[in-house]
Structure 1
C-alpha cells in the first residue's frame, strides 16, 4: 500500500477510543463531538477495509484486527511522545528492545550466557525471547519481528531470506552422564560405549552430525534411547540416568552443577559453533553488538 492511504488523525481518534474504553470518554479527552469521532472511525475502517469494532450490548469491543491496529497505534503515539521529550531534552526512560529468536537446538544456558551481557549495558534493554523452529524464527527475522536469531549452524543459501551470519565462537563437545553411568562404562573407553545408552539431539542438528561421525570413526554402536528437539528436555532425561548426553564444553561447569552430571570424555574432532543471524551485513543494534563482543571475549574465549 502507498504511504498516503492512512489518515493519522483518524488513527489517533481510534486509539483514544480504544484507550479510554468508550467514544464518550474519548470525546471528552479530545474536545470533539461524538458524531465527529464516530464518522472518523468509519472512515478509518473503510481505508483499512476491516472492521475494528463490533458492538456487544451497549459496549464497543475491538475485533482481532482492531486489537492489532491498537497495538501498532499505541507504539506509534508512544514514540511520538518520546520525540517531543527528546527535543525538549528530557529523558524518555524507554528501554531499547531486543527481540531474540532461540531455536530448540540451542542449549538454554548458552542462550542465557549470550544474552546476559545485555543486562549490564548502561542503556536499559528490554529482552523479548521467542522460541520455535529455525524456519519460523528466520521468517520472523525477515519481517523484522526479531532483531537476531541464534543458531548452531549458519543460514545457508537455501534460506529464502537475505540473512547474514555473524560467528560468535566455538567450543569442544563433551560426553556427560550420571556418576553411576560413568563408573559403569569408564573402563576401556571409547570401545566400552558400544551398547551404552545415549540421549541425542535431533538428526538435523550440527551436534548430532558431530556425534554420529565420532560413532562411525570409533566403531561405536550405541543404544539410542531417545532423540530430542529440545536440549533442556534432553538434559532432564540425562539427569534421571537414562543415558549419556553430549554437551558444549563452554558450559561444562553449568551442565555438571545444574543437572548433576559428570564429565566422561571430550569427543574428538567435535566442534560446536554458534552464530548470530541478522538481516544486517554489519551489526548495528547495540545489544546485539554487546552479545557478539562478550561471546568472543568471555564465553568462547578458550
Structure 2
C-alpha cells in the first residue's frame, strides 16, 4: 500500500537533484553520500508511485510526473526561503515587499509608484525584479512576488488567479533633446514626417496606440530604434538619437533626468499603469500605501 504522506526531506532531495541535473552534483551540494541521495529519491518515487526521472544515456531527465512535481517543489521551497527571510526580518521591524516591474514601465514611473512605501511608519525593504510581463506574471502566480507593476491589465479569460488594479492613466507627450525639439516642435504634429523616433517594440501595450496616432495624422516617422526595455530607449533618447513618447505625468522630471524637453502633447494616446495581485483585494500594507497615495494625489488620470 502506497504512503500518500510525502516526506518533505525526500522531496527536497528530489528538488536539488532536479536543479543540479545529477545525483552526484546534488550529493556534493547537500554534503551527503551519493548512495544516500539515491536511496531517498527512490523512497520518494515509491511513495508517490511514479518514476520522477528517467535515464537518457548518462543524463537524468525528468519524466512528465517529475516536471509536475518540480513545479510544486519550486513553490514549496521558494515559500520556505521567503519564510526564513521574513522571520529573519521580523526582528528588524522591517516589512518585505517583493515587486515585479515590467521592463516597459518607465523607471521614473516605477519610482513614483513605490516612493510612498519608503515613507511608512513601519520600514519597508523593497526587493525589485524587472523583466518581461509574461515571466513576471508567472512568478506572481507562483507567489514569488507580492505585486506586479505593469502597463497592461491581465487578459480576461486567463486561468491564472490574478487580478488587475488600475493605478493611474496618463496622456502621453513627445519629447526629445533640445536640438530635435527646436526642429520638430513648431507646427507639431504636421512636421513629424521623417522625424527620427525611438519606439517601444510591437509587443508593448503602447505601441499599437502610437501607430494608430501616426496613421490618423498621416505621419510617416523615421523609426531609428525599437526597444523592449524602456530604460534603454530613454538612454538613446538622452543621447539625442530620436524623439520618444513619455507619460505626461512625468513631464516635470524629464528635463532634469533625461535632458528631454517637450515637443508636443498627444492626448489621444493614453497609457495605463496597473498593480497586479493574487487577491481581488490587495492586503499588503505597502501596496495599500501605493494605492492610497495615487488616489489622494488625484493621479488616477493625468
Interval of TM-score (by shorter of Structure 1 and Structure 2): 0.7 to 0.9
Shift of 1:238: 1.1
Other structure's SS at 1:206 match: coil
Q: Which residue of 2 aligns with 1:238?
A: 237
Q: Which residue of 1 aligns with 2:280?
A: 281
Q: Which residue of 2 aligns with 1:119?
A: 118
Is 1:96 the equivalent of 2:98? no
Other structure's SS at 2:165 match: strand
Tell me if structure 2 keeps the 8 A contact 1:103–1:151.
yes
Q: 2:136 & 2:78 partners in 1: Cα distance?
A: 21
Q: Which residue of 2 aligns with 1:5?
A: 7
Computed over aligned residues only, the root mean square deviation of the Cα atoms, in angstroms, reads 3.8
Q: Which residue of 2 aligns with 1:19?
A: none
Other structure's SS at 2:187 match: coil
Kindly provide the CA deviation profile for residues 76-126 of structure 1, in whole angstroms up to 9, marking residues without a partner as x: 5676789xxxxxxxx732422111111110001111111111111111221
Q: Which residue of 2 aligns with 1:128?
A: 127
Q: 1:187 & 1:277 partners in 2: Cα distance?
A: 40
Pair 1:42–1:263, CA change in 2 (3 A): same
Q: Which residue of 2 aligns with 1:291?
A: 290
Tell me if structure 2 keeps the 8 A contact 1:99–1:128.
yes
TM-score after normalising by structure 1: 0.73
Q: Which residue of 1 aligns with 2:169?
A: 170
Shift of 1:5: 3.0
Q: Which residue of 2 aligns with 1:105?
A: 104
Tell me if structure 2 keeps the 8 A contact 1:198–1:245.
yes
Shift of 1:199: 0.5
Tell me if structure 2 keeps the 8 A contact 1:168–1:276.
yes
Tell me if structure 2 keeps the 8 A contact 1:113–1:299.
no
Shift of 1:69: 9.4
Q: Which residue of 1 aligns with 2:143?
A: 144
Shift of 1:205: 1.9
Q: Which residue of 2 aligns with 1:204?
A: 203
Tell me if structure 1 keeps the 8 A contact 2:93–2:122.
no
**Structure 1, unaligned runs of 5 or more:** 12-21, 24-39, 51-64, 83-90
Other structure's SS at 2:213 match: helix
Q: 1:198 & 1:80 partners in 2: Cα distance?
A: 49
Is 1:193 the equivalent of 2:192? yes
Q: 1:81 & 1:245 partners in 2: Cα distance?
A: 44
Q: 1:137 & 1:108 partners in 2: Cα distance?
A: 16
Shift of 1:298: 2.8
Kindly provide the CA deviation profile for residues 6-31 of structure 1, in whole angstroms up to 9, marking residues without a partner as x: 47xx99xxxxxxxxxx99xxxxxxxx
Shift of 1:134: 1.0
Q: Which residue of 2 aligns with 1:252?
A: 251
TM-score after normalising by structure 2: 0.73
Shift of 1:235: 1.1
Tell me if structure 1 keeps the 8 A contact 2:170–2:249.
yes
Other structure's SS at 1:165 match: strand
Q: Which residue of 1 aligns with 2:155?
A: 156
Q: 2:228 & 2:84 partners in 1: Cα distance?
A: 41
Shift of 1:75: 5.5
**Structure 2, unaligned runs of 5 or more:** 14-29, 46-51, 53-69
Q: 2:141 & 2:159 partners in 1: Cα distance?
A: 9
Moved more, 150-159 or 219-228: 150-159
Pair 1:151–1:79, CA change in 2 (3 A): closer
Kindly provide the CA deviation profile for residues 48-74 of structure 1, in whole angstroms up to 9, marking residues without a partner as x: 679xxxxxxxxxxxxxx9xx9998666
Tell me if structure 2 keeps the 8 A contact 1:250–1:299.
no
Shift of 1:273: 0.8
